[in-house]
Structure 1
Amino acid sequence: MDKRNYQEEIVTGKLTEFEIVNRIYDDIFKQSKNSQKITTQGQGKILLLLSQENRLREKEIAKELDMSPQSVGEFVNKLQKKNMVEIFRSEKDKRIKLVSITSTGLSALDSIDEDIPNFVKVLSDKDLENLEQIYSKMIDSMYDSINENSSNIINKIHKFFANKYKKEFHGDK
């Protein structure tokens, strides 16, 4: 085995180890830290939308976030139980229920991805710069591979989500 292959195997092993340890780290530190903490997934997306356009119908939330009305209903109910949103009737039409973000919901938004893990804080400025460049190269290569491999329906679905995340993290590059 040449030196290059050996280094690639070592790095692959370290990435696998990092993924496993990172899951454990997240379970211990992120979830135990704050039971009200939310992510940028379903509930977080709804809070983000409501922080920009408050007092929306569930139907409008579903359309804006490209989610099913059932999912939005479930997420809104969970957020209401956590006192992060309020549901009230429209003054113009009492049949219409509107969803509004609360101060608790706004506070929860401030906590999304705000914490920088200790294992990142130990890196020097140069280490952070190098790591960012390395991850960027690897991620770009992964996006390229995903886009090239969309022959069956499952791969097409993966391609759809990969492109959605690429836009989310990198804009319209």
Structure 2
Amino acid sequence: MSTLSEKHQLAEKIWEFTILTRLDSDDDRQRGSRLSFSGQGKILVLLAQEDNLPQKEIATRLNLTPQSTAEFVGKLARKHYVHKTKSQKDRRITLIQLTGQGRDALKNIDNTIPSYLEFLDDDEQQQFGKLLAKMNLGLRERIESRDNSIDGKMHKVMLQHFTKQSHAGENK
């Protein structure tokens, strides 16, 4: 079993890896070739689960400020990923709907093969895959056991979406 010091060193390596992969993929995000699972991506996932939501409801469910939500929705609308309409019942309410392009973009969120896998040979990739599968299983179980707070519910929705996406990718 690893000592506390060894676990700390491993945690530092994971943290460093996280930072380096984000820096490595910044160019892709700036060019708009990938939609990351951030504010915009979370909005798309939420709309895929329940479409035609009021913008205010999106902000509440995702724990975002109204200003951030408006900015994210505006960017998504300019990309033609969502469509904004006024509610027929209350013209003060803006409803957000996912478009076909938005559904297509959602399929590609972080669905690319990371270039850093080239640093591992075939055996190392298999080992790495087994380790990630074990850790992912533990994280899924932890997320599924969360309470039904707003954050807990949203994490479960995101988990369901990405579980569905990963199984769809396995069947290709």
Using the size of structure 1 for normalisation, the TM-score is: 0.59
Supply the distance in 2 between the matched residues of 1:39 and 1:51 (Cα, whole angstroms): 16
Matched, 1:26 2:25: yes
The count of aligned residue pairs is: 140
Distance 1:170 1:83 in 2: 25
- Specify every segment of 5 or more residues in structure 2 that has no aligned partner in the other structure, as ranges: 140-150, 161-172
- 2:57 maps to what in 1? 60
Q: Aligned partners of 1:24, 1:117: CA distance in 2, in Å?
A: 13
- State how far apart, in whole Å, the 2-side matches of 1:57 and 1:13 are: 41
Alignment match, 1:128? 128
Match of 2:106 among 109, 112, 118: 109
| C-alpha contact (below 8 Å) 2:44/2:98 kept by paired residues | yes
Contact 1:56–1:99 (CA under 8 A) maintained in structure 2: yes
More moved, 87-96 vs 72-81: 87-96
Percent of counterpart pairs with the same letter?
35
Task: Choose 1 or 2 for highest CA Rg.
Answer: 1
Would you say the 8 A contact 1:36–1:82 is kept in 2?
A: no
| Equivalent residue number for residue 36 of structure 2 | 39
Structure 2 equivalent of residue 91 of structure 1:
88
- Maintained 8 Å contact 2:34/2:110: no
Instruction: State the distance in 1 between where 2:106 and 2:48 align.
Output: 9
Give the alignment's Cα RMSD to 1 decimal: 3.8
2:79 maps to 1:78: no
Asked if the contact 1:38/1:108 (under 8 Å) is kept, the reply is yes
Mapped contact 1:45–1:65 kept (Cα < 8 A)? yes
SS in 2 for 1:54: coil
